[in-house]
Amino acid sequence: MIPDILVEKLQIARSVAVLTGAGVSAESGVATFRGEGGLWKKFRPEELANFDAFIRNPGLVWEWYQFRRKLIHEVKPNPGHFALSKLEKHYNNFTLITQNVDGLHQTAGNINIVELHGNILRNRCIECNSMFSKRILEEDKKVPLCDCGGLIRPDVVWFGEMLPHGAIEKAARAAEECDLFFSIGTSAIVYPAASLPGIAKQNGAFIVEINPEPTPVTDIADVVIYEKSGVALPIIEKKLFH
Ligand code: OAD
């Protein structure tokens, strides 16, 4: 499943960048957005994941995020997450760029993480933008208020919003500078994250895709592994170390 050329590239790489998407957490039990069982099949993004929707109906949006947080609290990183954290320890220069908001890469032990779409476990005020650190109970249905009186929202990126300050710049730099780039478990259609594999390719990186399904990255990838990341990544990690 893992071609020799990839093992060779893993051994000589000096700088590695990894882009992950919802597929990496699928084997932990977190639903992806698109495809079979995807969240956007059951829910309408325009009603739940944008700022105007929150202002129109804060309670509904808050309740949806409380529901997703409850699910995320119940899951654990899978062997794919753990393999990525072992890879980070091996390289001096390793950047994990994720579109996921579930915090599972942190739990698995990765450190140099760029969270492009925020983190569902954090909250902030829509007025003064300060982080909200008070404990939020899982069953709380009422939207909390900041000391300044503003509504508290999850610290995630909604449709039409800018990415967190500096995140895409740091991710693009990692894509430009790496010699080995992985695109794992992402449909690679949501920009600007979807531009990163192309940036890495243009700058001479070797591109590896891990996904059971083809995506727009497949055409530019040097190696495509049509497999679940929780299966493929531990094999890759073992090949590197043994
Ligand atoms: P998607 O739901 O669009 O795509 C998930 C990808 O994971 C698909 O290509 C699947 O084939 C693949 N997949 C499924 N199971 C897998 C497994 N076990 N191992 C590896 N791959 C697997 O999720 P994202 O690409 O992350 O944005 O979506 C990008 C963004 O769209 C999300 O961050 C979110 C969403 O709207 C915001 O909320 C801003």
Give the pLDDT of the chain (242 residues) as one tens digit per residue: 899 999 999 999 999 999 999 999 999 999 898 887 787 777 787 778 999 999 999 999 999 999 899 999 999 999 999 999 999 999 999 999 999 999 999 999 999 999 999 999 999 999 999 999 988 887 778 999 999 999 999 999 999 999 999 999 999 999 999 999 999 999 999 999 999 999 999 999 999 999 999 999 999 999 999 999 999 999 999 998 87
Nearest-atom number in ligand 1 for the CA of 32 is 2
Q: Cα dist. 161→51, 77, 165, 170 in Å?
A: 8, 28, 11, 18
Look at residues 12, 138, 129, 14 and name the one whose alpha carbon lies nearest to residue 74.
138
Judge if the beta carbon of residue 201 lies within 6 A of ligand 1: no
- pLDDT of the residue at 48: 87
Protein residue with its CA nearest to atom 16 in ligand 1: 23
3-state helix vs strand vs coil in the chain, percent to 5:
40, 20, 40
Report the C-alpha gap between 52 and 96 in whole angstroms: 31
Nearest-atom number in ligand 1 for the CA of 188 is 25
Distance from the alpha carbon of residue 211 to the mean position of ligand 1, in angstroms? 10
117 is catalytic: yes
- pLDDT of the residue at 233: 98
Report the C-alpha gap between 222 and 220 in whole angstroms: 7
Look at residues 167, 239, 232, 228 and name the one whose alpha carbon lies nearest to residue 28.
228
Distance from the alpha carbon of residue 217 to the mean position of ligand 1, in angstroms? 13
Mutate to test the pocket of ligand 1, among 1, 30, 34, 155 (most ligand atoms within 8 A of CB): 34
Protein residue with its CA nearest to atom 29 in ligand 1: 190
Nearest-atom number in ligand 1 for the CA of 158 is 39
- pLDDT of the residue at 34: 87
Candidates 73, 117, 165, 242; catalytic one: 117
For residue 223, the cross-strand partners are: 208
Judge if the beta carbon of residue 228 lies within 6 A of ligand 1: yes
Q: What is the DSSP letter of 145?
A: B
Backbone torsions φ then ψ of 26, nearest 5 degrees: -60, -40
Nearest-atom number in ligand 1 for the CA of 116 is 33
166 CB burial (10 A radius; 0-12, 13-18, 19+)? exposed
- pLDDT of the residue at 44: 80
Q: In what order do the strands lie in the sheet with 206-210?
A: 113-115, 93-98, 15-20, 180-184, 206-210, 223-225
